[in-house]
Amino acid sequence: MPIQWDELEREMDLALNESESVTDAKLASRISSLTRMTDGEVQELFPSQADAKKLIELMKIIKSGEERNTKVAKIVSDAEKFGDVVLTLLEKFV
């Protein structure tokens, strides 16, 4: 029986989409366990894995034991990367 490439491609896309959704949900759950946000709020505010990962990176800086000035310097040096995350958080609270 010949391989049905269209069907195989659809099945692969479906599997990738399902695994991405599961991963996104687990990531949101993990973030919410570290913050005051619920899983739903995390998923609503940071629907993409890329944004959620930036949030985690920013949280690592904030929660580190480094001096405040060092934290500020790290955030400023990556301001473009963290800008959308900071804006999203501030829009939520303001």
What are 6-62's pLDDT values in tens digits? Answer: 665 666 666 666 666 666 666 666 666 666 777 788 788 888 888 888 888 888 888
**pLDDT number for residue 41:** 81
Contacts of 51 (CB under 8 A, 6+ apart): 84, 85, 88
pLDDT band at 77 (very low <50, low <70, confident <90, very high): very high
**pLDDT number for residue 73:** 94
Contacts of 31 (CB under 8 A, 6+ apart): 37, 42, 46, 52, 55, 56, 59
Question: How many structural domains compose the chain?
Answer: 1
**CA 65, 69, 70, 72 torsion-angle sign:** positive
pLDDT band at 69 (very low <50, low <70, confident <90, very high): very high
22: containing domain: 5-93
Q: Is it the case that residue 2 has pLDDT exceeding 80?
A: no
**pLDDT number for residue 70:** 94
